[in-house]
Homo-oligomer: A and B are copies of this chain.
């Protein structure tokens, strides 16, 4: 997965576990358009300080994922739910076959939960 996409997903899931200060700088640096220099100036800390804070946040977010695996779990569920959506549009499937497929996928999702 692209680093930026991965950071976004991890932040979506675990961002609330960072402090407000960390969240604010992380958002500006990773999702905003500001440079390290601009952020350093805005928060009155060194460029190195901004850089270290972002690295620490990335590590924290990754640690949470290593322990809880929620991003991975949600990605699997999302894929299966999208499969359900696609199957409903497959007109060559009979009522019976559609029901069977759905039931199977539903079972797979429940195992993930």
Contact = CB atoms under 8 A, between A and B. Distances in A.
Contacts of A87: 102
Nearest to A88: B99
**Contact residues of A: prevailing secondary structure:** helix
A94 interface: yes
Nearest to A18: B67
Given A85-B106, A102-B84, A107-B85, A74 B113 contact: yes
Contacts of A70: 70
A7 B92 CA distance: 46
Interface of A: 13-14, 16-17, 64, 67-68, 70, 74, 77-78, 81-82, 84-85, 87-89, 93-95, 98-100, 102-103, 105-107, 109-110, 113
